[in-house]
Amino acid sequence: MARGLGRSYGDAAQCSGGTVVDMRSILGASDVSGGEVEVGAGMSLDALLRRALPAGWFIPVTPGTRQVTVGGALAADIHGKNHHLDGSFARHVSAITIATPTGLRRVSANEDAELFWATAGGMGLTGIVTSARVRMLRVETDRMLVDTDRFSDLDAVMSAMEAGDARYRYSVAWVDCSGPAISTRQRAPGLRAGRAVLTRAVHARLEDLAPAERRPPAAPPRPALGTPRRVPRGLLNRLSIAAFNEAWYLRAPVHREAEVQSMWRFFHPLDGVADWNRLYGPRGFVQYQFVVPEKSGDVVAAVVRELSERRLPSFLAVLKRFGASSPGPLSFPMPGWTLALDLPIGPQALPTCLDRLDAMVAAAGGRVYLAKDSRLRPDLFSTMYPRLEELSSVRQRVDPAGLMRSDLSRRLGLD
Amino acid sequence: MLDAFGQPQSAVVLGGTSDLAGAIVRALAHRRLRTAVLGGRNEERLALAARAASAEGVREVRTVQLDATDVAGAARAVDECFDAAGSVDLVLVAIGVLSHERDELDPARTAEVVTATYSWPAVALTRAAAHLRDQGSGRIVVLSSVAAVRVRRQNFVYASAKSGLDSFSIGLREALHGTGVVVQIVRPGRVPTKMTEGLPRAPLSTTPDAVANAVVAGLASDTPIVWVPASARWALAAARLVPQSLWRRIPG
Ligand SMILES: Cc1cc2nc3c(=O)[nH]c(=O)nc-3n(C[C@H](O)[C@H](O)[C@H](O)COP(=O)(O)OP(=O)(O)OC[C@H]3O[C@@H](n4cnc5c(N)ncnc54)[C@H](O)[C@@H]3O)c2cc1C
Ligand SMILES: NC(=O)c1ccc[n+]([C@@H]2O[C@H](COP(=O)([O-])OP(=O)(O)OC[C@H]3O[C@@H](n4cnc5c(N)ncnc54)[C@H](OP(=O)(O)O)[C@@H]3O)[C@@H](O)[C@H]2O)c1
């Protein structure tokens, strides 16, 4: 089983008792030619940007952290804030080299498309990707023009996204899931849950900037050092999560247009509070990200309500509208609404509450994201991913002995 | 595999006919348990326990016959259980034999109690630990007892054996540190089960369901010791300080 930078939240890049291949030394990138770059699968998106951005090339899909490898990005078929227009990562990969248990192959959407698409989102279960040809995006600057809007409830922000997302390459909303009011200004329960800040942006062109600001794009900054290594248990509790969400909400303007922001502030706002995850303390947290079809947007509200009523706060909840899905049988995105939650482990009600959310999501024809999963039930997994058979048949062909397996594949009964 | 909350999909239960094990299997079945291998000495009772587990939703239930007075056969019995299970996420040790004042001076009884409560489980744990270590992951939950913490006259043979098993398990936990295998020790107060039938209620009493819930919650953390009720932890910390002359007179 391959392991990139280990940024998947669950057990996808683990194989207890087995062999895990550290991909971080499979580096190297060609120059961009014809808008494409051939990259070693162990190279991080950060390193790729460092090389390509000064030449005016940006990565086609940017996740919430730059510290993921190209192989990991393909294996999870990751999505960014531009999914509604540009789709997931694999759509921007024109070919890959993959070492399967039955041999090394070069595949693409035209050459052995089954293996290519089974690998895109296949969580490493078809073999080890060694290199990929990635289509890059031309940019003139390293800045963004950002519009920000604040909404007092979920319906309003969702309507705004439906109406206006097409005008922006990037769009994402932060939703307050920290539960009912607990501050001194006690409000009715449920009032905070669901309020949202929507940020949408396009790449700034040179002409969009003041003359003094017009300079070519530069490499991203080195990551800042963050929170101390040892953090007391429970530092991030219901109160502090609510306080953080309150500050986040109040910090946002009610409406602001065309604010010039650096790419890094826009794509990775949490890098300002680097290593937030450690604040969860030694017990950690679970990520829960699901998608439901367009017509089932009400499930998002139901989930927010459920968490708020159970007093299970989420540190940051991120809402996004997905565009078309990619052909990968295990690829996560589908047209509709996705919500990503960060929930501290601890409350006894959490595991069963998440089971209930799974059931709601599955009933609506949606699914949860495997790159962030560590607890889904196998039976619901096959309901959520009805095209599992396609993956199995490819695996049978390229890995008849069943050598490629991970803790995730064993947990979900993918063997 | 264990999930993010430490919930097993497959379990080997040594002492599969125990009342406490039954309650624990039920609670695990409501979470993620799909495969269970129940080990025990009596075929009929095993079949009954297996049926109960199936009824709670465990899809594959198998039984293995074993006798906890046969120390020499312990490792083989554990092998058989692992073979029957495939991969194992959790090993639960629930075998134990209670001693009473009336048989405290019967050497044969002492041999049975000590063997079934300590020696056999210790050997079985040794073997199970080796299997799990090779697997690279897994949990071991050992049913100890508050009786192990401060031995009392009424059941000192049993309590001393539990005390041995408890210490053994703490040592094993340390020994397995970093292997992916985690040992957790459960110390319940008195629980109404077939083991304690006819005994009076004691302080720190609890119920099989409370023990089961505490085990499920304990799995979500990797806490070394799960006390049931939780207050037993403080009661026993205090009990250690009580002089023997007084301890003797506390009912239980
Ligand atoms: C702060 C944060 C923000 C994130 N934001 C987003 C987001 O916005 N959108 C999104 O989609 N995801 C997001 N993620 C998830 C992340 O993008 C994915 O989990 C990604 O797969 C991680 O890449 P990695 O290199 O760390 O891979 P790992 O975590 O090491 O591995 C993930 C999977 O990829 C497989 N894999 C890795 N390398 C290879 C290879 N060379 N060949 C075959 N298989 C391989 C592994 O076997 C495993 O199954 C975020 C994660 C974090 C921590
Ligand atoms: N009940 C309490 O108050 C209490 C409190 C603290 C700890 N505990 C511990 O919890 C565990 C479960 O006890 P319980 O209360 O559920 O009582 P139980 O139902 O009597 O369970 C004891 C188990 O041990 C098995 N056993 C005994 N001798 C055996 C032998 N020679 N070979 C194979 N199996 C043998 C029993 O099998 P059979 O069914 O065939 O007899 C039964 O499965 C025990 O370890 C006990 O010490 C109990």
Q: What is the CATH number of domain A143-377?
A: 3.30.70.2520
pLDDT at res. B11: 98
pLDDT in tens, A2-31: 999 999 988 999 999 899 999 999 999 999
* pTM for this entry: 0.92
Domain-embedded: residue B252: no
Interface test with B, best of A14, A285, A375 (most B CBs within 10 A): A375
Domain-embedded: residue B54: yes
Indicate whether residue B196 lines ligand 2 (CB < 6 A).
yes
ipTM: 0.88
pLDDT at res. A192: 73
* Span from the CA of B32 to the centroid of ligand 2 (angstroms): 24
Pocket around ligand 1 at a 6 A CB cut-off: A 1-8, 12-13, 23, 41, 63-65, 68-69, 71-73, 75-76, 78-80, 123-124, 128-129, 371, 406
CATH number, domain of B37, equals: 3.40.50.720
User: For atom 8 of ligand 2, which residue has the closest CA?
Assistant: B145
Residue B163 makes CB contacts below 8 A (sequence gap 6+) with: B147, B148, B149, B151
C-alpha pair distances (Å), B242 with each of A123, B149, B162, B189, B250: 58, 13, 20, 18, 10
On whether any CB of chain A is under 8 Å from the CB of B207, the answer is no
The answer to whether A196 and A178 have CB atoms below 8 angstroms apart is no
User: Strands A128-135 and A36-40, how do they pair?
Assistant: antiparallel
Three-state secondary structure along A338-378?
Answer: EEEEEEECCCCCHHHHHHHHHHHHHHCCCEECHHHCCCCCH
**Inter-chain touch A351–B7, beta carbons under 8 Å:** yes
Domain-embedded: residue B182: yes
Nearest to B135 among A17, A374, A375 (CB): A17
The class of domain A2-139+380-411 in CATH terms is alpha beta
Ligand 2 atom with the smallest distance to the CA of B190 is 3
The answer to whether A42 and A26 have CB atoms below 8 angstroms apart is yes
Residue in chain A nearest B86 by alpha carbon: A410
pLDDT in tens, A276-299: 555 555 567 889 999 999 999 999
B229 has pLDDT over 70: yes
pLDDT in tens, A70-118: 999 999 999 999 999 999 999 999 999 999 999 999 999 999 999 999 9
Give how far B234 is from chain A: nearest CA, Å.
21
Domain-embedded: residue B3: no
**DSSP secondary structure code for residue A123 in this structure:** T
pLDDT at res. A402: 95
Best residue among B193, B205, B228 to mutate for probing ligand 2's pocket (most ligand atoms within 8 Å of CB) is B193
B195 has pLDDT over 50: yes
The chain A residues in contact with chain B (CB within 8 A) are 10-11, 16-18, 283, 286, 345, 348, 350-351, 374-375, 377-378, 407-408, 410-411
**Residue of B120, B158, B168, B227 marked catalytic:** B158
Strand partners, A336: A293, A322
Residue B33 belongs to domain spanning: 10-247
A67-100 burial code (b ≥16 CB/10 A, e <16) = bbbbbbbbbbbbbbbbbbebbbbbbbbbbbbbeb
pLDDT in tens, chain A (415 residues): 999 999 998 899 999 989 999 999 999 999 999 999 999 999 999 999 999 999 999 999 999 999 999 999 999 999 999 999 999 999 999 999 999 999 999 999 999 999 999 999 999 999 999 999 999 999 999 999 999 999 999 999 999 999 999 999 999 999 998 766 443 344 444 457 889 999 999 999 999 999 999 999 999 987 655 555 555 555 556 677 788 788 888 888 999 999 999 999 999 876 655 565 555 555 678 899 999 999 999 999 999 999 988 888 887 799 999 999 999 999 999 999 999 999 988 888 999 999 999 999 999 999 999 999 999 999 999 999 999 999 999 999 999 999 999 999 999 999 8
Best residue among A14, A59, A69, A405 to mutate for probing ligand 1's pocket (most ligand atoms within 8 Å of CB) is A69
Residue in chain B nearest A347 by alpha carbon: B217
Domain-embedded: residue B5: no
DSSP string computed for A61-96: ---S-S--BHHHHHHTT---TTHHHH--GGGGEEEE
On whether any CB of chain A is under 8 Å from the CB of B174, the answer is no
Cβ neighbours of A380 in B, within 8 Å: none
Q: Does the annotation mark B118 as catalytic?
A: no
Torsion of CA A112, A115, A116, A122, to 10 degrees: 170
User: Strands A170-175 and A36-40, how do they pair?
Assistant: unpaired
Domain-embedded: residue B202: yes
User: For atom 15 of ligand 1, which residue has the closest CA?
Assistant: A8
Nearest to A374 among B3, B87, B217 (CB): B3
* Span from the CA of A21 to the centroid of ligand 1 (angstroms): 15
- How far is it, in rounded angstroms, from Cα A321 to Cα A292? 10
pLDDT at res. A235: 56
Q: What is the crossing angle of helices A298-309 and A154-164, to 10°?
A: 150
Domain-embedded: residue B55: yes
Domain ranges of chain A: 2-139+380-411, 143-377
* Span from the CA of B193 to the centroid of ligand 2 (angstroms): 9
**Inter-chain touch B180–A11, beta carbons under 8 Å:** no
B84 has pLDDT over 90: yes
Question: How many structural domains is chain B composed of?
Answer: 1
State both tokens at B243: 């002089």
Domain-embedded: residue B116: yes
pLDDT in tens, B130-154: 999 999 999 999 999 999 999 999 9
> H or E element: which one contains B48?
helix B43-55
Indicate whether residue B42 lines ligand 2 (CB < 6 A).
yes
Nearest to A17 among B4, B32, B134 (CB): B134
